[in-house]
Structure 1
């Protein structure tokens, strides 16, 4: 079925599909089709659930109503605090499982959240030859940096441990020190909140896995995760950044996170690891795992630092600095982390 600009003009296009211009959407493909992760889909909102808004490409969270038509992309989701969801085998009723515009079939959910918003896929969006449009078609080109600036990675115990906040505060401190900071979210599910937060704290540019052509990194093989990481870092290095800050989604026990942080690429690229946790026991267990993997741990932070008591517990439990917002946003954060000399040597 042919599409025109008028057909799509007032349709809300999600953050996850922001790299694909509406001018490339020429056809609506219907019938017995098997969606792939990253395929763009035109869908109708049937019933509102957990997500009552959709994040647009510019970051605005637009209200949704039953009957609204939206442009999403298919993708798997792993979110212990929200949904476990998978790309369906057919164009069948399913759900919008992330505010950034991910279509999938809900498999399980956290008991504290509502069911996902129900959608009716109307068809895959295609090009002028009737071929399905996929995020991979608009990915930034693969790139590998010849030399690497100082690279700091933020890992954590799980979703909502405070990883993004830790990364953002670190970026703020590095920026206050006069450094050009680039940031990347290497793994996760397509949504822009973390990207916007890191931008707001001073990182420029900021990239995520959707820029590399993936709606989600759940269920991707290790070699693909490494390729995503290398590509994002390569583009940041090309932009002339002096420090890289990387966020790795979820926790150390999540499959893709575990694969990436134990990879050759991660060991060769990352100079220091900050570990985010929600409580002292999580910090202690996480620090032990990081050290077992012989990763370069430099500090603990995260949600636990909102509590002086939790911070005190963690300080007794781990033999590394426990850094709160004030420490991370300080213009002396490199000295606090022990990297001031390293940076001077690399930029000399």
Structure 2
């Protein structure tokens, strides 16, 4: 009996294909190339997010369909698409990103990554390898800046991967909806997995979208122009002109490559109406604001994990004269009083 192939979320639109096993020996994979793998051993990832968003358990011997991609995650894995064909790969992200791991957080060294063996590439009737990014390329729009002028945009950024910026974004969305505003959410950068979009949708967002909608298994190592095109495309995709606000989240911390690239790019920042900066503790809050000031950005407000501690809030208030909001305050819409005017620089 033919084995059932468990299709990961990034491959959700793949229906007609056949598997070419010969290409494994000589084709050098590129980001977005789709392949079928056999699970060799289970490590960090015990499930993959399926085409239907359900987290499907995987076991040694299972076959999965996934796409090649990169990953930058300080709390998890650093992984790449190598310039050589290999027979064994690792799961980089549960949404279906596969590559070669270069480093991992120490907490995973005892279990390691989930190991995969390459079976073959998914190809079309002409024998061409299916690619998630290439499939969506005709829909990508060139950046003009027009889309970001259609609505007010609030940018949620953080000091690190786990600083609380997604929770901050979701509670901003909740506060906006509570006050009667049509609100969208975009996860602009990161590694494919729907958790962040789902959380914002559950908090009331009228529409959500992320980079995977345009076939990106991840955005790590994308060029600036590609990110700007993606920004424009996603805003148009969610019909930004029909929304009062769009909350946009950028993954990881201020020093991450794509985050820093966007924050220092005037074409991107000129369309942002307010920045909310999340931090994990008082030191990262204070130093993060100083880093943003060096980028000519003054946050409208601070939030994040540190706001769970009254003592940490007190420490930050002693160093900074900026509004600080807990998630409960964001959820009531208190931020609205600060974002009625466009973002100003500190120059």
Same fold by TM-score greater than 0.5: yes
Query: Does the aligned pair in 1 maintain the 2:240–2:246 contact within 8 Å?
Result: no
- How many Å apart are 1:116 and its aligned residue? 0.9
CA separation in 1, counterparts of 2:221 and 2:283? 29
Q: Residue 60 of structure 1 is aligned with which of 51, 54, 62?
A: 54
Query: Does the aligned pair in 1 maintain the 2:68–2:217 contact within 8 Å?
Result: yes
CA separation in 1, counterparts of 2:318 and 2:135? 49
- 1:259 alignment counterpart: 261
What secondary structure does 2:61 align onto? Answer: coil
- 1:70 alignment counterpart: 64
Q: Residue 281 of structure 1 is aligned with which of 271, 280, 283?
A: 283
- 1:108 alignment counterpart: 103
Q: Residue 17 of structure 2 is aligned with which of 15, 22, 25?
A: 25
- 1:339 alignment counterpart: 339
Query: Does the aligned pair in 2 maintain the 1:226–1:263 contact within 8 Å?
Result: no
- 1:153 alignment counterpart: 155
* 1:151-194, Cα deviation, whole Å (9 max, x unpaired): 00011111111111111111111111111111111111111111
- How many Å apart are 1:75 and its aligned residue? 0.3
RMSD: 1.9
Q: Residue 85 of structure 2 is aligned with which of 86, 90, 110?
A: 90
CA separation in 2, counterparts of 1:252 and 1:341? 24
- How many Å apart are 1:224 and its aligned residue? 1.2
Q: Residue 114 of structure 2 is aligned with which of 98, 101, 117?
A: 117
CA separation in 2, counterparts of 1:29 and 1:178? 54
After TM superposition, the structure 1 stretch with the greater mean CA deviation from structure 2, 285-294 or 37-46, is 285-294
CA separation in 2, counterparts of 1:142 and 1:7? 37
- 1:16 alignment counterpart: 10
Structural mapping, 1:1-348, within 5 Å? 10-18=4-12, 20-22=13-15, 24-31=16-23, 32-88=26-82, 89-113=84-108, 114-139=111-136, 141-143=139-141, 145-146=146-147, 147-238=149-240, 240-335=242-337, 338-340=338-340
CA separation in 1, counterparts of 2:187 and 2:46? 25
After TM superposition, the structure 1 stretch with the greater mean CA deviation from structure 2, 163-172 or 225-234, is 225-234
CA separation in 2, counterparts of 1:150 and 1:116? 41
- 1:3 alignment counterpart: none
What secondary structure does 1:59 align onto? Answer: coil
* 1:270-311, Cα deviation, whole Å (9 max, x unpaired): 111000110010001111111222224101111111222222
CA separation in 2, counterparts of 1:98 and 1:21? 19
CA separation in 1, counterparts of 2:91 and 2:100? 8
Give me the TM-score of the superposition, normalised by structure 1: 0.90
Structure 1 gaps, min length 5: 1-5, 343-348
After TM superposition, the structure 1 stretch with the greater mean CA deviation from structure 2, 210-219 or 28-37, is 28-37
Give aligned pairs, total.
332
